[in-house]
Amino acid sequence: MNPSAEALRATFGSAIGRAVESCGDTIVYVDRAALLDVMAWLRDTPGQQYDYLVDVTAVEYRDRERPLELVYNLRSLDRRVDVRVKVELDPRGDLTVDSIVPLWRGADWLEREVYDMFGVAFRGHPDLRRILMWETYAEGHPLRKDFPLRGRFSRAEQVRQALAANPEAHYSLEELSIAAAYDELPPDMRERLRRGERGKIPHSE
Amino acid sequence: MKRVLETKEVTGQSPNYLLAKAQDLIDWAVNSSRANSLWPMPFGTACCAIEFMATAASRYDFARFGMERQAFSPRQADVLICAGRLPFKLAPVIRRIYDQMPQPKWVISMGACASTGGIFDNYAMVQGIDTIVPVDVYVPGGPPRPEGLLYGVLLLHKKIKGESLFDRAARREEQPLDERGLRLPPEQIDEISEPFGNSVHQFRSA
């Protein structure tokens, strides 16, 4: 068992759930409200120094009683120690968690992938969009257990929506933050930037 | 070609005999030129593209069949070779590439995944690129060996040599998407996308 588990319990008390050892790795369950503090503490405390975020992912089990788990793999490059932090969420409840992008910039796309595949909303993420599926994808979050293997729509509807997509769609000016270069762009690209062109994005305002 | 042959049979003593002969000659010249200088547009998305590269390289060398120049621009291409699975995200891209190719144009669907979706019977994959673009030759295999692709190319040669400039039925026409934005009727797309083989043991709802 990694001694960080005991140190976490001593520091955060009841916000730390059970700690288990699996295949030589220590897994610490953390309350979702304390996630950001726990991660900051693990990264910055001398003696912990988990400075490298290996991966952010999620698991939903076939057993409907089990919660959806968010998985954070951390590694200390200096101390050569790993720890795995998990947050349990109710898959049919509120799926909102604090984003850890303020701590690790590299969590940006990892959290976008978890959002795309599982629908977990990361509070404070700078740019929470789909990353693997296209943005106008309206069928839901594919890795959820209630998502049918072949998608929710009929094949014909899937083909129709795919063919209706604009393969040359561009992001709008606000989304790209390249306003400084706007005047140097050719007129047609300026027009595209103004319009956005990405189509109707589901669940947007 | 077929129609011209029929014409010859029917009009053995007809004054059109010379005309038919001339059409035959023109078709032969045009089709031979087309078939023997096919410029492929490689659309490689998966492991089939590796076999495609092997086909293009020195051991198999499809330049022997007039495919010396690979057109990496659709505007100079004759045959679109979809080598690999096609996700829905790429469907509008391959359709755009196909639309940009000049007439006459042909499509080879290389491999099981491009032809039917293969093992990828899931939410993200097109179940056969014939729901997106018209396909002339399907090459089975996962991925097919270079011999397989070469055989498909030779079959395409045969098909091209059977076309005719003078017969509407055998002439290649542009096939745009219909007003629904589809190439085939929706029922037909659903039918050819149905699960088969091992996929029938998996359910839409589970």
Q: What single-letter DSSP state applies at residue B143?
A: S
Range of lowest pLDDT (A98-107, B54-63, B177-186): B177-186
Identify the pLDDT of residue B95.
93
Is A197 part of the contact surface with chain B (CB cutoff 8 Å)?
A: no
Which spans in B11-46 are helix H?
17-35
Mean pLDDT of B25-52: 92
Mean pLDDT of B107-120: 91
The shortest CB-CB distance from A148 to any of B91, B186, B205 is to: B205
* Confidence band, pLDDT 50/70/90 cuts, at residue B174: confident
Which of A134, A147, A149 should one mutate to test binding to chain B, selecting the residue with the greatest count of B CBs within 10 A? A149
Range of lowest pLDDT (A23-27, A147-151, A197-201, B47-51): A197-201
Identify the pLDDT of residue A204.
59
pLDDT tens for B116-155 read 988 888 899 999 999 999 999 999 988 999 999 999 999 9
Identify the pLDDT of residue A186.
81
Identify the pLDDT of residue A107.
92
Cβ–Cβ below 8 Å for A149 and B182: no
Per-chain mean pLDDT for chain B: 86
Cβ–Cβ below 8 Å for A142 and B123: yes
- Scan for tokens 């029922």, then name that residue: B187
Mean pLDDT of A91-118: 93
Q: How far is A165 from chain B (nearest CA, A)?
A: 6
ipTM > 0.95 for the complex: no
The shortest CB-CB distance from B121 to any of A150, A154, A160 is to: A150
* Confidence band, pLDDT 50/70/90 cuts, at residue B164: confident
Mean pLDDT of B172-199: 84
Q: What is the SS3 assignment for chain A?
A: CCHHHHHHHHHHHHHEEEEEEECCEEEEEECHHHHHHHHHHHHHCCCCCCCEEEEEEEECCCCCCCCEEEEEEEEECCCCEEEEEEEEECCCCCCEEECCCCCCCCHHHHHHHHHHHHCCEEECCCCCCCCCCCCCCCCCCCCCCCCCCCCCCCHHHHHHHHHHCCCCCCCCHHHHCCHHHHHHCCHHHHHHHHHCCCCCCCCCC
Residue A192 scores a pLDDT above 80: no
Residue A178 scores a pLDDT above 70: no
Residue B206 scores a pLDDT above 50: no
Judge residue A163's burial from the number of C-beta atoms within 10 Å of its C-beta, 0-12 exposed, 13-18 middle, 19 or more buried: buried
Integer Cα distance of A18 and A39 in angstroms = 17
What is the Rg, in whole angstroms, of the alpha carbon atoms belonging to chain B? Answer: 19
pLDDT tens for A32-53 read 999 999 999 999 999 899 999 9
Residue A179 scores a pLDDT above 80: no
Cβ–Cβ below 8 Å for B131 and A165: no
pLDDT tens for B58-102 read 999 999 998 888 888 999 999 999 999 999 999 999 999 999 999
User: When comparing pLDDT for A72 and A175, which is higher?
Assistant: A72
Q: Which residues of A touch B99 (CB under 8 A)?
A: none
Which of these, B68, B86, B87, B93, lies nearest to B78 by C-alpha position? Answer: B68
How far, rounded to the nearest angstrom, does the alpha carbon of residue A15 sit from its chain's CA centroid? Answer: 22
Integer Cα distance of B193 and B117 in angstroms = 8
Which of B85, B88, B199, B205 should one mutate to test binding to chain A, selecting the residue with the greatest count of A CBs within 10 A? B88
Identify the pLDDT of residue A180.
64
What is the Rg, in whole angstroms, of the alpha carbon atoms belonging to chain A? Answer: 20
The shortest CB-CB distance from A159 to any of B123, B189, B206 is to: B189
Domains of chain A, each with CATH number or no CATH: 3-139 (3.30.460.80)
Closest Cα in chain B to A136: B89
Q: Which residues of A touch B181 (CB under 8 A)?
A: 160, 163-164
3-class DSSP state for residue B139?
strand
Window 127-156 of A: residues touching B by CB (8 A cutoff) are 133-134, 139, 142, 147-151, 154-156
Q: List, in sequence order, every beta strand (DSSP E) within chain B.
A: 40-44, 79-83, 106-110, 137-139
Closest Cα in chain A to B95: A163
| Cα end-to-end distance, chain B, whole Å | 51
Mean pLDDT of A142-165: 90
Mean pLDDT of B43-60: 92
Tell me the backbone φ, ψ of residue A70, rounded to 5 degrees. Answer: -90, 135
Integer Cα distance of A68 and A61 in angstroms = 7
Identify the pLDDT of residue B1.
47
Which of these, B163, B173, B174, B172, lies nearest to B3 by C-alpha position? Answer: B163
Closest Cα in chain B to A133: B89
Closest Cα in chain B to A153: B123
Quote the percentage of chain A above a pLDDT of 70: 86
Q: How far is B57 from chain A (nearest CA, A)?
A: 31
Identify the pLDDT of residue B11.
47
Identify the pLDDT of residue B49.
93
CATH architecture of B2-197: 3-Layer(aba) Sandwich (3.40)
Cβ–Cβ below 8 Å for A139 and B89: no
Q: Which residues of B touch A167 (CB under 8 A)?
A: 92-93, 96
Judge residue B149's burial from the number of C-beta atoms within 10 Å of its C-beta, 0-12 exposed, 13-18 middle, 19 or more buried: buried
Integer Cα distance of A77 and A61 in angstroms = 31
Mean pLDDT of A153-164: 90
Tell me the backbone φ, ψ of residue A92, rounded to 5 degrees. Answer: -100, 10
Residue A79 scores a pLDDT above 60: yes
Beta carbons of A90 and A30 less than 8 angstroms apart: no
Q: Number of C-alpha atoms within 13 angstroms, CB side, residue A35? A: 25
Which residues face B141 on adjacent strands? Answer: none
Which of B96, B123, B201 should one mutate to test binding to chain A, selecting the residue with the greatest count of A CBs within 10 A? B123
Dihedral sign of CA atoms B122, B125, B126, B129 in order: negative
pLDDT tens for A89-99 read 999 889 999 99
* Confidence band, pLDDT 50/70/90 cuts, at residue B181: confident
Which of these, B113, B112, B115, B97, lies nearest to B41 by C-alpha position? Answer: B97
Q: List, in sequence order, every beta strand (DSSP E) within B65-180.
A: 79-83, 106-110, 137-139
Beta carbons of B133 and B183 less than 8 angstroms apart: yes
